[in-house]
Chain A
Amino acid sequence: MGLQTNGLTLEVVGREVSGRPVPGKPRRPAGPYLLALPALLLSSLLIVPICVTVVAAFRTPGGFGIGNFAVMRDPGALHAVGNSLLWVLVAFAIVAVGFFLALFSYRLPAVTSLLQPALVIPFAVSILVSGATFRLIFDPTPERGTVTAVWTRLFGSSPVWLGPGLFWLVLVSAFGWTWLGYVVSLFRAGLDAIPDDVTRTITAEGVKGWRRLRALEIPLLRPITGVVTLTVVIAAVRVFDLVLIVVPGSMQSSADVLGLNWWRTTTSGDNPGRTAALGVVLFAIVAAAGVIGVRGLRRRRWAMPVTVVPPDPSLGRPKPSKRVRRTGWVVGFAVSLVWIFPAVVLVATALHSPREAGLHGWWSLSGLGFSSFTAAANVGLFRALLSTVLIAGAATLVLLVIAVPTAYLVAWGGLPQWLGRVVTSAFVVLAVTPVQMYAAPLRDAIGATGLAGSRIALALVHAAAGLPFAVLLLRSAFASAPPALVSEALQGPARQSAVLATVQRTYRPALVAVAVLEFALVWNDFIVGFLISGPGTTPLSLVLWGEARQFSAASGTVAAAAVVASIVPAVLLLSFWQTVVRGLTAGSRP
């Protein structure tokens, strides 16, 4: 048997076999697989309860079947599904708006410097805080609510913004305020990464407007669009705490979404099979949204090499004219003001006494002081702060320790291709699984082991929930710098510093992104603490939620608690935002 390549001829010659064949195994060391063991154990915290839920959903008194899904005939549940689908539309709209805002800020560069922090702060604060802020802004009394006050001044009377139908406006504003910054930042990072020669060629050919968009930006941003759509759609389908805090109790049934409907069904002691079926339907919607989102990623490889050489500034885009820059500056300033306004409302409300904040809006000049913060401290805010620091810190630590070796294994551990694909798909599925799929069995299990309310249990659940995303992100980063580069860096003294710098540049952003996002997510979490931890661990968000039960009269304390709860994630994300964006987009560069 012969092989011929490049003029060389390889002759394969068989050797006569003598003696008995030696039993043996192919040399595939099991060592690397052990790297995945901790991840497997941690993930089983989710996988086992998910399986329990799926089995429960399909188990009927007479065996297995789809009898439990009759719950979907319930008009309440159907209404909730409809609302959840509406939220998906909202998510698509936000992605579209974010894309054009990013394009706009790309064409008018001066906008960015101002816009960035204004867009990051809303993303850093929890959705609970942003819901509380918009409820303050849209308060129905003209003395308290900003929009109501302005409207009444202009038109004599004002619609009841939190009333039937109109509460959607408040919900969508709060959601958009939170997510638009993330969308714009990621699209901006994608636009910045478009090679200049491509841009210049297109410009030289005179392609403009829609045609340029369709020829250049849209195709080149497809991978990022995938990531962005995926995150925002999943966030939209998972909306839960936002509805709880924004919509007054009397209208919550009309604002019902699937996640909330599930929660009400579990608390009312309905048949567990039916609640499990609701969870499965919710998961199906999220998964469908996920598949559509991931399609964007499939077009290109998930892991892309990152541009390593920083662009030469002298070869950068031509500096825009003075007029363009000035326009950009003015527009950027205006947009930033609008965007930062809710944060101003929140802080100003917190700086009023509880009485004054309950009677008048943030603009009132009387009753200024820190008494709302004192009142918030008196309902256990600082104990909750400690609790949250511990939970978020522990979850982040556990996550990093487990995710890094796993991601390394998936990227370079020499897994057979099929296994790598299976593992990646499993992580994608886990990353989008809504908490309702595993909350009930997990809560029961934690209760049965006597760990209900322990912070360790909560931190572990958080780490498990964060693991899939972290592994996927780190894998992309690892994949873009092969281990050969690392060993080369460690051995070859000549190019050592340059290669190390390369490695650092590719790995560090992803590591920072994982750590910062996990810490902020756990810090801001409401739903996991609410649904799983049981009575006991009271993280910040639960204290905030307790205060917000009598919303307007407690405006001052709610705002003060929200400000305290937001400082840490806001500072964290503002300091690391550039790195986080680089880490997030590392695997999806064009």
Chain B
Amino acid sequence: MRSSRRAFLGAAATLVVAGCSSDVLGLRRSVRIAVSWSGQELRAFHKVLDGLGPLDYPVEVVPLGDDISTAFGARSTRRPDIVMLPQPGLVPRHLRDLEPMPDDLAPLGRARLWKDLLVHQSTTYGVPFKTAHKSAVWYRPSVFAQVGVQPPRLWSEWLTLNQTLTQAGIAPLSLAAGDGWVLTDFLENVLLGIAPAVYENLATATDPRPSRQPQFAEALRLVGTMWSAPDALAGGMERSLVQQFPDALVEVFGHRRAAMVLASDFAEPVVRSFAADPSDIELFTFPPMTPGAAAPVVVGGDVMVLPKPTTDDARDLVRRLAAPNAADPWIREGGFLVDGRVAGYSSELTRLAEQLAKPGEQLQFDLSDRLGRLGDINGLWRVLTDFLIKVGGRGAAVVPEAVDAAVRELRKVEG
């Protein structure tokens, strides 16, 4: 009896010691990497980490979701050592909190497009990890063949195509209005297509005021024309409002209730895993708005930054993740583009990668990510959601008034 009691106490003591060991209490110094991913993307990132081979330090992934920008500033032993920032536009705002990139990595941050965001006074503060092509429209070729149409080469052709599909009883568009960024992506593509200079000015202005730009209202009007066409949105406006980004993809490829969906390259794994017919998947890129104009390409991405103060372990992990083949496990899963790389993807993503790498394309970074508060859930997201509620499927006549209301609302947010 006595010995069993002693054994029990011994076991209890071991448990207590184990329980208090610093790792469990959260005091051991592992390299903590904050990411905004969840679900499939998070699992793919774990695969990337596993593929790095044995490391001298433990790595802990901290999924922060939409609150990723809170990763800066907290002075604590458990603050993240690396942040995978999905809004590179935030980098200039956090220069004080960030450590410069080591010299051997700095050139990676000086690539085209990234340079403006990541380099300040010739110091590089971040390196890209993942690039997103936000001007891709995924569609089912079988539907296009059924009504005898080709992917549109112009915005006007796209409008006609939608009409043809509607007349054939097929809902052309599935819209994920439940996620505000899907709506802003739509508008950004149109704005970049009609007025690249205005887009660039807004993106770089210190106090951007999109509501003052007539081209911004014009872009709203054009988007409104497409969304307001009767029966253009699969399930109607209300269904669109409750649809998140993967739901919209499932509507097109899983339940086959719509023909196409504006989604990024990172839609690929969702499309493939839910597709009823794996061979019935294609994509076209956002068409030019007018004949002769360049096709708009809106780019997004996640950049690696090092919050201050950093450690050698954190630098080492960034170096490993920035290596050319580090992301291969994720590329195999699909839905991942590496900046500057054009090979090794599926055929659809290869086309997107090629467009990103082609010189002379109308490339711009995601505008809403660079507008700060104006571009987020209380700003442009909400304004565009209200705009969709006003116009969705109600015919072109309601559009002008809805545009005015949206501009007024945006002006209020601008303050």
Residue positions of A touching B, CB distance < 8 A: 140-141, 143, 160, 162-164, 248-253, 264, 267-269, 354-355, 358-359, 375, 378-380, 386, 390, 446-448, 450-456, 534-538, 543, 545-547, 549-554, 557
Q: Are B38 and A452 in contact (CB under 8 A)?
A: no
Given A140-B239, A359-B250, A537-B26, CB of A375 within 8 Å of CB of B70: no
B292 to chain A, nearest CB (A): 36
Q: Are B38 and A547 in contact (CB under 8 A)?
A: yes
Chain B neighbourhood of A538, CB < 8 A: 62-63
> Is B97 among interface residues, defined by CB-CB distance under 8 A?
no
A537 vs B26: C-alpha distance in the bound complex, in angstroms?
A: 8
> Is B13 among interface residues, defined by CB-CB distance under 8 A?
no
Q: Are A452 and B79 in contact (CB under 8 A)?
A: yes
Q: Are B242 and A553 in contact (CB under 8 A)?
A: no
Q: Are B242 and A162 in contact (CB under 8 A)?
A: yes
A181 vs B25: C-alpha distance in the bound complex, in angstroms?
A: 36
Q: Are A248 and B244 in contact (CB under 8 A)?
A: yes
Closest to B43 in A: A378
Per-residue A-contact encoding for B211-251, CB less than 8 Å = 1, 0 else: 00000000000000000000000010011011111110111
Q: Are A379 and B43 in contact (CB under 8 A)?
A: yes
A537 vs B74: C-alpha distance in the bound complex, in angstroms?
A: 14
Per-residue A-contact encoding for B161-178, CB less than 8 Å = 1, 0 else: 000000000000000011
> Is B407 among interface residues, defined by CB-CB distance under 8 A?
no
- Chief secondary structure at chain B's binding surface: helix
Q: Are A553 and B71 in contact (CB under 8 A)?
A: no
A-B contact pairs, 7 of them (CB 8 A): A163-B239, A249-B179, A249-B381, A534-B74, A536-B76, A546-B38, A550-B245
A537 vs B255: C-alpha distance in the bound complex, in angstroms?
A: 39
Q: Are A141 and B246 in contact (CB under 8 A)?
A: no
Q: Are B246 and A550 in contact (CB under 8 A)?
A: yes
Question: Total number of A-B contacts with CB less than 8 angstroms?
Answer: 172
Q: Are A451 and B246 in contact (CB under 8 A)?
A: no
Given A267-B67, A456-B25, CB of A535 within 8 Å of CB of B80: yes
Closest to B270 in A: A553
Given A550-B245, A554-B39, CB of A390 within 8 Å of CB of B80: no
Q: Are B385 and A454 in contact (CB under 8 A)?
A: no
Closest to A394 in B: B19
Closest to A389 in B: B19
A248 vs B238: C-alpha distance in the bound complex, in angstroms?
A: 11
Q: Are B274 and A250 in contact (CB under 8 A)?
A: no
Chain B neighbourhood of A452, CB < 8 A: 74-79
Q: Are B250 and A358 in contact (CB under 8 A)?
A: yes
A349 to chain B, nearest CB (A): 15
Closest to B83 in A: A535
> Is B89 among interface residues, defined by CB-CB distance under 8 A?
no
Pick the contact of B241: A163, A264, A454 (CB < 8 A).
A163
A565 vs B378: C-alpha distance in the bound complex, in angstroms?
A: 32
Q: Are B241 and A248 in contact (CB under 8 A)?
A: yes
Chain A neighbourhood of B27, CB < 8 A: 454
Pick the contact of A355: B42, B273, B378 (CB < 8 A).
B273
Q: Are A248 and B242 in contact (CB under 8 A)?
A: yes
Chain B neighbourhood of A450, CB < 8 A: 75-77
Given A454-B25, A553-B274, A554-B39, CB of A534 within 8 Å of CB of B76: yes
A451 vs B26: C-alpha distance in the bound complex, in angstroms?
A: 9
Q: Are A251 and B65 in contact (CB under 8 A)?
A: no
A291 to chain B, nearest CB (A): 34
Chain B neighbourhood of A446, CB < 8 A: 76
Q: Are A453 and B26 in contact (CB under 8 A)?
A: yes
Chain A neighbourhood of B73, CB < 8 A: 447
Q: Are A535 and B39 in contact (CB under 8 A)?
A: no
Q: Are A390 and B63 in contact (CB under 8 A)?
A: no
B368 to chain A, nearest CB (A): 14
Q: Are A535 and B255 in contact (CB under 8 A)?
A: no
Chain A neighbourhood of B378, CB < 8 A: 253, 264, 268
Closest to A449 in B: B76
Closest to B384 in A: A250
Pick the contact of A163: B19, B66, B179, B238 (CB < 8 A).
B238
> Is B90 among interface residues, defined by CB-CB distance under 8 A?
no
> Is B180 among interface residues, defined by CB-CB distance under 8 A?
yes
Q: Are B74 and A164 in contact (CB under 8 A)?
A: no
Interface residues on B, range: 35 or more
> Is B254 among interface residues, defined by CB-CB distance under 8 A?
yes
| 10 A-B pairs with the lowest CB-CB distances in the bound complex, closest first | A453-B78, A553-B246, A452-B76, A536-B78, A248-B178, A163-B238, A160-B238, A546-B38, A162-B242, A447-B74
**Among residues 135 to 169 in chain B, which have CB atoms less than 8 Å away from a CB atom of chain A?**
none
Chain A neighbourhood of B25, CB < 8 A: 454-456
Pick the contact of A160: B24, B65, B239, B255 (CB < 8 A).
B239
**Among residues 23 to 56 in chain B, which have CB atoms less than 8 Å away from a CB atom of chain A?**
24-27, 32, 34, 38-39, 42-43, 46
Q: Are A375 and B43 in contact (CB under 8 A)?
A: yes
A443 to chain B, nearest CB (A): 8
Q: Are B71 and A535 in contact (CB under 8 A)?
A: yes
Pick the contact of B178: A250, A253, A390, A451 (CB < 8 A).
A250
Q: Are B242 and A163 in contact (CB under 8 A)?
A: yes
A355 vs B270: C-alpha distance in the bound complex, in angstroms?
A: 9
> Is B377 among interface residues, defined by CB-CB distance under 8 A?
yes
> Is B389 among interface residues, defined by CB-CB distance under 8 A?
yes
> Is B64 among interface residues, defined by CB-CB distance under 8 A?
yes
A252 vs B382: C-alpha distance in the bound complex, in angstroms?
A: 10
A354 vs B62: C-alpha distance in the bound complex, in angstroms?
A: 23
Pick the contact of B254: A358, A375, A454 (CB < 8 A).
A358
Chain A neighbourhood of B77, CB < 8 A: 450-454
Closest to A393 in B: B19
> Is B61 among interface residues, defined by CB-CB distance under 8 A?
yes
Given A534-B70, A535-B62: 5 more A-B contacts, CB < 8 Å: A248-B242, A379-B43, A447-B75, A535-B71, A554-B39
A164 vs B238: C-alpha distance in the bound complex, in angstroms?
A: 7
Pick the contact of A249: B42, B178, B270 (CB < 8 A).
B178
A354 vs B71: C-alpha distance in the bound complex, in angstroms?
A: 30
Given A253-B382, A550-B245, CB of A390 within 8 Å of CB of B19: yes
Q: Are B241 and A250 in contact (CB under 8 A)?
A: yes
Q: Are B34 and A535 in contact (CB under 8 A)?
A: yes
> Is B408 among interface residues, defined by CB-CB distance under 8 A?
no
Q: Are A359 and B74 in contact (CB under 8 A)?
A: no
A554 vs B178: C-alpha distance in the bound complex, in angstroms?
A: 15
Chain B neighbourhood of A534, CB < 8 A: 70, 74, 76, 78-79
Pick the contact of A550: B39, B63, B74, B251 (CB < 8 A).
B39
B45 to chain A, nearest CB (A): 10
Per-residue A-contact encoding for B244-267, CB less than 8 Å = 1, 0 else: 111101110011000000000000
A354 to chain B, nearest CB (A): 8
A357 to chain B, nearest CB (A): 11
Q: Which of B63, B80, B239, B249 has the most CB of A within 10 A?
A: B63
Q: Which of B24, B39, B65, B80 has the most CB of A within 10 A?
A: B39
Q: Which of B61, B65, B74, B177 has the most CB of A within 10 A?
A: B74
Pick the contact of A359: B24, B71, B239, B274 (CB < 8 A).
B274
> Is B373 among interface residues, defined by CB-CB distance under 8 A?
yes
B35 to chain A, nearest CB (A): 10
Q: Are A453 and B42 in contact (CB under 8 A)?
A: no
Q: Are B78 and A359 in contact (CB under 8 A)?
A: no
Q: Are A251 and B241 in contact (CB under 8 A)?
A: yes
Chain A neighbourhood of B64, CB < 8 A: 535
Chain B neighbourhood of A267, CB < 8 A: 67, 70
Chain A neighbourhood of B34, CB < 8 A: 535
Given A551-B244, A553-B244, CB of A536 within 8 Å of CB of B274: no
Q: Which of B19, B34, B76, B255 has the most CB of A within 10 A?
A: B76
B406 to chain A, nearest CB (A): 15
Q: Are B26 and A455 in contact (CB under 8 A)?
A: yes
A456 vs B34: C-alpha distance in the bound complex, in angstroms?
A: 21
B174 to chain A, nearest CB (A): 12
Per-residue A-contact encoding for B352-388, CB less than 8 Å = 1, 0 else: 0000000000000000000001001110011001000
Chain A neighbourhood of B42, CB < 8 A: 379, 546
Q: Are A249 and B377 in contact (CB under 8 A)?
A: yes
A393 to chain B, nearest CB (A): 9
